[in-house]
Structure 1
Amino acid sequence: MLVRAQNRLLATFIVLQLACGDLVRNLIGWGPWGALSGITLLWALFALRRSGASWHWLPAPLLAFVGVAAATLIVTPHPLATLLGVSLLLVHVMLAVLLATLPLDALLDVLHRCLQGLLIASLAFEIVVALFVQGPVYPVWLEHSSGLPMIPWSTGGIFWGHRIQGITGNPNLTAMIALLALIVAIGRQRAGLDRRLWWLWTALPVVVLALTRSMTVLAAAVVVLLSFWLVYTWRRRPRGAFRPAVMISAALLAVLVAWAVGNWDRVVEALGREASMEDRFQIWAGALEWWQGSPLLGRGWMGYWMPWVEPYDRLGLQDGIVYLQAHSVWVDVLMQAGILGVLAWAWLLASTIRGAARDLAEAPRGAGPIAAVPLMILIAEAVQGIAESRPLIELGIVLLVVFAVRQQRARVELGRLQTMAFPLPLHPGE
């Protein structure tokens, strides 16, 4: 299926803005970023009207999750912020529906170009800062006169063993972009789409993963690579080989976890992190304490915390720096949308992963590598969500919804074809 150039251009613009929102905010601040997002929304609305998309493409788990998020308006102590959060969630769903109109190979091509481009730009940015600035660079729009600690956009220490933060200004975000790029690159290489430069598109994300040293994303990368091996064994090896492969993978994962726990100090030292998880535990404790005031529906859907809303302006305060997430999807959803929100999110995530696995099982032999990519992306987001809240916003939530919508769209179109079919008479005259 041919995809018009303007559709690819819009999809590229959407993916870039979702993947590097921190970059735009570091450059121009929240206000202009909001205006740019508004322009993207208007463009997407115009394209969506002409795309032939249908509300029937929205699966029940997604509707349940959005419904619970909207219902938190009943109990929230900050209705305007919750209304804005729910509106942003609806915008993300709309953008996902628009992206879901693309064929899978076209969508993955857009992801490939955008993510690899961001990795190249991240390395170039870090090298330029190290060579010419030779010190930390801070977001352009921040006020230095406040006296509060600030997280630098880049430390300028790529040649001195410092963790790089990339052009996004966030090492964990840059690392996740690298992992997604690696997943897409492996799928494309196995499908024979990148015959000449496949080694570059595979090596570049690995280098960035090593330089960002994100513990959560590295753990997700290990799970994804084991999952790729299991999928390969499942589809390409004799049936009797799959069960031993599962047992070997489980044993290998258990050994790695046990080794990491037993050598925790050395692991975190190698990653340039602190051995204590006290800061994260404190954020979780604060979020759970705030949730206890409204267990069923939570404190109001917000997605990424809004720093001008109390108590989010201090809930994640650590060493003078305000973190705007609970550092766990599950804690964040519980706090914002309560027990009902957690159940709806679990339904959405589990059903989408199950649907991706079913699509892979039903894919023709030659289409298997491309069909495996959505499943691997969903597995990566599921692991990341244990200790990060990024899957709830921007590219994370949009990719989840894209794959959920694509699965529901396929079911709707199959049902339509079955409705159009009619039985032929078994005997003349019947």
Structure 2
Amino acid sequence: MISRSALNAATNVGAVILSSPRTSAALSTVVIGTTVAAFFLRTVLGTAGFLAALMLLVVLVSLSAWAQWKDIGWRALVPISLILFTGWVWLSVAWSQYRAESVASALYLLMLTIMGIYIALVRDTIQIVRAFGDVLRAALVVSLVFEILTGLIFDSSIDALLIQGNLGTAEPIQGIFGTRNHLGMIALIAFITFAIEYATRSVERNLAIGSLITAALVLLLSQSPLALGAGLIIAAATGALAALRRVPSGRRRYWQILLMAFTTATLIVSWLSRTAIVAWFDASDELAYRVGVWRQLWTLEDNYRLEGWGWIGPWDATVAPYLAFGSFDSRVPDSAHNAYLDVWFQLGVVGFLIFVGLLGLAFTRSWLLASRRRSIVFAWPALVLLALAIGALAESSILTDFGWVTFVVCCVKASRELSWRRALDSSVSPGI
């Protein structure tokens, strides 16, 4: 029989291991890697195997957070706006038209949220950037290897992974992410991450330059109109942010207002010129497909406009109302292809306003931090959040897997730095 002293000694050893920086770094990297390769892992392991891996990760990060609780503190929980959104997701189970699926999807979202919160609480921003950089480097290289094998060496396809072997043709590539838009957005976030690594000299110069070239190459090969358009906006935002950082703090507020006015005007002009912009990116077919989905979604939304149909995350085509969408352009939609409309449809006007508020607060805080703080590393959450917000206009990937984990990480990091509760505790603070 194990003695109490031996049990206590084993518990203490376990707590030391779980609270060590190396354990936190390893868990953070594995969480990011597992979620970024979610499509690939679901295909290889099956849904059950993938969920088992995620549940194991949730247990490990929970134990690790518990072992470090004295360093984290009770005030470092989560932003209140994030609590409101996840709370509304769970409340939607009560009136959901597909209750079992809503419970399962809400549990899945909770697991992703816990993992994202863990990364944000136990790792510094530069450590988070390095973890994302390592994972995204590997993901892009693996994608290119698969495309080279199928497109240039064997001239074949891998249907299970939706890899068509298009590298030797003029067609877009998908890598291990299933679609060109997902690959393109991953490449864009990777480019932002590698640029921060280069600016902060957190990796060797040659590695940083090679990573940037790889990300740019994959972005171009994806031929994703969404990612390419988002890239242009990110480039403009980066220039504006660099200019703001050089403005004296006393005059920065006025330049922020001027930048907001200019951005608003640009959005209006872009909306008025949307037909020409779509034609320039050769995205007419993609837009027509999405408009068809949006129109039918908007018609069905009339039934439950305030509270929504109930949370389901990625669509399940076997339950109503999603089975009613049928096939558009030989494709069965797995989402609304617009995160904002997806939230509106599933969680109603209330959920939509909470989600927009959560995103708006997170981006505002991260942008202010990026323009005020001396270290360029604080630009990473702002630019990544901007990429996610733009991507949400044509895809719903921000609501699940890598997109949601990344979103939660950026939200919590920004909240801990700028919060009304920071006055209560100078060391840590969540936010609304």
Normalised TM-score (structure 2) = 0.84
Residue type matched to 2:304 in 1? S
The residue aligned with 1:87 is 107
Whether the aligned pair in 1 keeps the contact of 2:172 and 2:223 (CA below 8 Å) is yes
Query: How far does residue 20 in structure 1 lie from its aligned partner after superposition?
Result: 1.5
Deviations 1:156-195 (A, max 9, x none): 1201121000122221111111111111112222223343
The residue aligned with 1:341 is 351
Using a 3 Å threshold, how does the CA distance of structure 1 residues 54 and 301 change in structure 2: closer, same or farther?
farther
Using a 3 Å threshold, how does the CA distance of structure 1 residues 202 and 276 change in structure 2: closer, same or farther?
closer
Over the matched positions of the two proteins, sequence identity in percent amounts to: 22
Query: How far does residue 279 in structure 1 lie from its aligned partner after superposition?
Result: 1.7
Rounded Cα–Cα distance in structure 1 between residues aligned with 2:271 and 2:292: 23
The 5 Å alignment of 1:313-332 reads: 313-315=323-325, 317-332=327-342
Using a 3 Å threshold, how does the CA distance of structure 1 residues 17 and 55 change in structure 2: closer, same or farther?
farther
The residue aligned with 1:385 is 392
Deviations 1:195-217 (A, max 9, x none): 33332121111111100011112
The residue aligned with 2:53 is 36
Which stretches in structure 1 are left out of the alignment for 5+ residues? 140-151, 420-430
Q: Any idea what SS the aligned residue of 2:206 has?
A: coil
Residue type matched to 2:99 in 1? P
Question: Are 1:60 and 2:77 matched, yes or no?
Answer: no
Using a 3 Å threshold, how does the CA distance of structure 1 residues 66 and 259 change in structure 2: closer, same or farther?
closer
Rounded Cα–Cα distance in structure 2 between residues aligned with 1:252 and 1:77: 40
The residue aligned with 1:187 is 196
The 5 Å alignment of 1:83-162 reads: 83-100=103-120, 101-139=122-160, 153-162=162-171
Query: How far does residue 242 in structure 1 lie from its aligned partner after superposition?
Result: 5.8
What RMSD, in angstroms, separates the aligned Cα atoms of the two structures? 2.9
Query: How far does residue 298 in structure 1 lie from its aligned partner after superposition?
Result: 0.2
Query: How far does residue 21 in structure 1 lie from its aligned partner after superposition?
Result: 0.6
The residue aligned with 1:219 is 229
Whether the aligned pair in 2 keeps the contact of 1:157 and 1:163 (CA below 8 Å) is yes
The residue aligned with 1:350 is 360
Rounded Cα–Cα distance in structure 1 between residues aligned with 2:325 and 2:246: 50
Whether the aligned pair in 2 keeps the contact of 1:69 and 1:86 (CA below 8 Å) is yes
The residue aligned with 1:426 is none
Which stretches in structure 2 are left out of the alignment for 5+ residues? 1-18
Query: How far does residue 263 in structure 1 lie from its aligned partner after superposition?
Result: 6.7
Query: How far does residue 265 in structure 1 lie from its aligned partner after superposition?
Result: 4.1
Whether the aligned pair in 2 keeps the contact of 1:58 and 1:405 (CA below 8 Å) is yes
Greater CA drift, 308-317 or 248-257: 248-257
Rounded Cα–Cα distance in structure 1 between residues aligned with 2:329 and 2:285: 16
Using a 3 Å threshold, how does the CA distance of structure 1 residues 136 and 255 change in structure 2: closer, same or farther?
farther
Using a 3 Å threshold, how does the CA distance of structure 1 residues 136 and 339 change in structure 2: closer, same or farther?
same
Rounded Cα–Cα distance in structure 2 between residues aligned with 1:248 and 1:386: 20
Whether the aligned pair in 2 keeps the contact of 1:3 and 1:102 (CA below 8 Å) is no
Rounded Cα–Cα distance in structure 1 between residues aligned with 2:198 and 2:269: 30
Rounded Cα–Cα distance in structure 1 between residues aligned with 2:28 and 2:335: 27
Whether the aligned pair in 2 keeps the contact of 1:3 and 1:106 (CA below 8 Å) is no
Using a 3 Å threshold, how does the CA distance of structure 1 residues 393 and 308 change in structure 2: closer, same or farther?
same
Using a 3 Å threshold, how does the CA distance of structure 1 residues 258 and 126 change in structure 2: closer, same or farther?
farther
Rounded Cα–Cα distance in structure 1 between residues aligned with 2:267 and 2:20: 41
The residue aligned with 1:148 is none
Using a 3 Å threshold, how does the CA distance of structure 1 residues 263 and 221 change in structure 2: closer, same or farther?
closer
Using a 3 Å threshold, how does the CA distance of structure 1 residues 303 and 41 change in structure 2: closer, same or farther?
same
The partner residue of 2:408 within 395, 401, 406 is 401
The residue aligned with 2:33 is 16
Whether the aligned pair in 2 keeps the contact of 1:25 and 1:33 (CA below 8 Å) is yes
Using a 3 Å threshold, how does the CA distance of structure 1 residues 39 and 278 change in structure 2: closer, same or farther?
same
Normalised TM-score (structure 1) = 0.84
The residue aligned with 2:184 is 175
Rounded Cα–Cα distance in structure 1 between residues aligned with 2:139 and 2:286: 31
Residue type matched to 1:108 in 2? V
Whether the aligned pair in 2 keeps the contact of 1:360 and 1:371 (CA below 8 Å) is yes
Deviations 1:288-339 (A, max 9, x none): 2232221111000112223443332452632443221000011100100000
How many matched pairs?
399
Question: Are 1:267 and 2:275 matched, yes or no?
Answer: no
Rounded Cα–Cα distance in structure 2 between residues aligned with 1:120 and 1:87: 32
Whether the aligned pair in 1 keeps the contact of 2:152 and 2:167 (CA below 8 Å) is no
Using a 3 Å threshold, how does the CA distance of structure 1 residues 249 and 206 change in structure 2: closer, same or farther?
farther
The residue aligned with 1:204 is 214
Greater CA drift, 201-210 or 28-37: 28-37
Using a 3 Å threshold, how does the CA distance of structure 1 residues 250 and 407 change in structure 2: closer, same or farther?
closer
Rounded Cα–Cα distance in structure 1 between residues aligned with 2:82 and 2:404: 11
Greater CA drift, 65-74 or 315-324: 315-324
The residue aligned with 1:77 is 97
